[in-house]
């Protein structure tokens, strides 16, 4: 693709206004996890926006309209691509933005533009579409391994009002989390169904977040139709990335309203606790600290429910990170950046570990499979050590 072509074809009018609205104030650098570990302002949100505005100006500005679009330096394009992919898309910059830019959705669309121009994605991210096409998941793992290693011997209904989606990262990379989910659902006692290992394919989030949108329509329609065939009314999922993508983006890719509602598992469990469908009797005398996943808290506003679930365990003392809820710090795994910028991801993950240890927590509670996989990796070789547990893994243990 020629560098003189429009840079705005992947953006909505709102996003174009957002690009124009950036004041370059730099407040967004304050809590940017990538800035925390790299200290490199040239890859910061305002610099990315400034450069992208230059691209738009060079191709569609007054001078370009009067005298023709100028060519954009290839190195600048490549540097921008690297910067936009080094981001974890956690959205902390948008939370701090003095003009309220919705960065959690702006960055993926800028990535989409870079993919369109043949500059993105980077490294291993480029293998994901083929992996999903061939195996149904971005890890190129066999469908036979999707549920077998972790799913306990519990009754899964053939059809039900409720379905559980394990998600690829939960099923392959954070199995205690997916196991905890189904154990808790089984304990609640309401029948639930699941798709078969062959039917339960990637939700599309990893492709969306890396800007590779070509397969998304097919993938989303395939999953929605499969769940529709099971007659479900509620789709439960514990992976924040999947939940976020299903809630916010499945509808446009499906092409209409979804025939069921999507709920995060903590909403379902908090509701079951409220209705007395489940109660924890076992006491756990522990100080635990809960990390809010970015795509759950900032993404869809699930902040209180995980805390309701944790507080329902007798004896638990719940601690909070200095940055929690809407202001939570990224674990380092977000935006598929961990697949390419491994060192950043580990360094960011260690910030969370270190704070949890400094607060004298016995356990670090996570609620996201990507966080679970990456923070466990960050723990290896780290000076400070803490036991990492998924929220449903802990809750399931308390039910036993």
Is residue 96 near another protein by the rule CB under 8 A?
A: yes
Residue 203 CB, nearest distance to another protein (Å)? Answer: 14
Choose, by CB under 8 A, the member of 146, 179, 264, 329 that binds another protein: 264
Choose, by CB under 8 A, the member of 20, 198, 214, 218 that binds another protein: 20
Choose, by CB under 8 A, the member of 5, 37, 38, 44 that binds another protein: 44
Which residue, 71 or 102, has its beta carbon nearer to another protein?
102
Are 390 and 174 in contact by the 8 Å Cβ rule? The answer is yes
Is residue 25 near another protein by the rule CB under 8 A?
A: yes
Task: Give the range of 10-18, 164-172, 173-181, 353-361 binding another protein by CB under 8 A.
Answer: 10-18
Long-range own/partner contacts, residues 170-175 (CB < 8 A, 24 or more apart)? 170/238, 170/239, 170/369, 171/137, 171/146, 171/147, 171/200, 172/137, 172/139, 172/141, 172/145, 172/146, 173/139, 173/369, 173/370, 173/372, 173/373, 174/369, 174/370, 174/372, 174/373, 174/390, 175/149, 175/150
How far apart (Å, rounded) are the C-alpha atoms in residues 237 and 337?
23
Choose, by CB under 8 A, the member of 4, 51, 56, 82 that binds another protein: 56
Which residues between 106 and 145 bind another protein (CB under 8 A)?
109, 112
Distances (CA, A) of 298 to 1, 104, 324, 391: 35, 9, 10, 18
322: CB partners within 8 A, 6+ apart: 355
Are 282 and 356 in contact by the 8 Å Cβ rule? The answer is no
Element (H, E) at 238: none
How far apart (Å, rounded) are the C-alpha atoms in residues 90 and 335?
7
Q: 25, 44, 96: which is closest to 327 by C-alpha? A: 96
Residue 300 CB, nearest distance to another protein (Å)? Answer: 5
DSSP β-bridge partners for residue 164 = 236
Is residue 11 near another protein by the rule CB under 8 A?
A: yes
Is residue 83 near another protein by the rule CB under 8 A?
A: no
184: CB partners within 8 A, 6+ apart: 265, 269, 278, 392, 395, 396, 399
Residue 22 CB, nearest distance to another protein (Å)? Answer: 7
Which residue, 183 or 330, has its beta carbon nearer to another protein?
330
Choose, by CB under 8 A, the member of 10, 166, 273, 392 that binds another protein: 10
Residue 46 CB, nearest distance to another protein (Å)? Answer: 6
Choose, by CB under 8 A, the member of 34, 36, 37, 46 that binds another protein: 46
How far apart (Å, rounded) are the C-alpha atoms in residues 26 and 42?
12
Residue 123 CB, nearest distance to another protein (Å)? Answer: 23
Going along 286-339, which residue ranges are E strands? 287-290, 317-320
Residue 271 CB, nearest distance to another protein (Å)? Answer: 9
Is residue 26 near another protein by the rule CB under 8 A?
A: yes
Is residue 279 near another protein by the rule CB under 8 A?
A: no
Task: Give the range of 41-49, 114-122, 171-179, 273-281 binding another protein by CB under 8 A.
Answer: 41-49
Is residue 323 near another protein by the rule CB under 8 A?
A: no
| Residues contributing to the site for another protein (CB under 8 A) | 6, 8-14, 16-18, 20-27, 29-30, 41, 44, 46-47, 50, 56, 60-62, 65, 96-102, 105, 109, 112, 208, 213, 216, 243, 247-249, 251-253, 262-264, 267, 300-302
């Amino acid at each position: 693709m020629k560098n003189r072509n429009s840079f705005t074809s992947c953006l909505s009018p709102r996003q174009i206004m957002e690009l124009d609205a950036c004041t370059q104030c730099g407040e967004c650098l304050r809590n940017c996890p990538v800035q925390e570990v790299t200290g490199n302002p040239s890859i910061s949100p305002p610099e990315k926006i400034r450069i992208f505005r230059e691209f738009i100006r060079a191709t569609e500005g007054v001078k370009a309209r009067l005298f023709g679009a100028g060519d954009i330096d290839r190195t600048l394009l490549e540097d921008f691509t690297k910067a936009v992919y080094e981001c974890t898309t956690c959205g902390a910059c948008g939370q701090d933005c003095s003009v309220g830019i919705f960065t959690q959705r702006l960055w993926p669309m800028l990535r989409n533009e870079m993919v369109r121009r043949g500059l993105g994605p980077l490294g291993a991210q480029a293998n994901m579409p083929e992996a999903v096409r061939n195996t149904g998941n971005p890890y190129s793992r066999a469908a036979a391994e999707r549920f077998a290693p972790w799913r306990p011997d519990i009754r899964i209904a053939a059809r039900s009002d409720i379905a559980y989606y394990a998600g690829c990262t939960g099923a392959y990379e954070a199995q205690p989390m997916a196991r905890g989910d189904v154990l808790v659902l089984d304990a609640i006692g309401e029948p639930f169904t699941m798709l078969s290992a062959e039917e339960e394919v990637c939700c599309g989030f990893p492709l969306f977040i890396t800007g590779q949108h070509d397969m998304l329509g097919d993938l989303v329609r395939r999953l929605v139709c499969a769940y529709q065939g099971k007659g479900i009314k509620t789709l439960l999922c514990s992976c924040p990335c999947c939940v976020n993508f299903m809630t916010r983006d499945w509808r446009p890719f499906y092409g209409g309203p979804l025939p069921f509602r999507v709920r995060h598992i903590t909403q379902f469990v908090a509701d079951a606790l409220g209705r007395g469908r489940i109660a924890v009797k076992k006491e756990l005398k522990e100080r635990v600290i809960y990390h809010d996943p970015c795509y759950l808290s900032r993404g869809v506003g699930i902040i209180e429910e995980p805390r309701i679930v944790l507080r329902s365990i007798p004896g638990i003392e719940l601690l909070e990170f200095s940055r929690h809820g809407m202001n939570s710090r990224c674990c380092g795994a977000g935006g598929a950046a961990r697949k390419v910028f491994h060192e950043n991801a580990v360094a960011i993950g260690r910030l969370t570990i270190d704070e949890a240890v400094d607060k004298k927590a016995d356990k670090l509670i996570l609620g996201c499979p990507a966080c679970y996989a990456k923070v466990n990796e960050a723990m290896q070789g780290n000076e400070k050590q803490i036991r990492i547990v998924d929220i449903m893994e802990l809750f399931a243990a308390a039910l036993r």
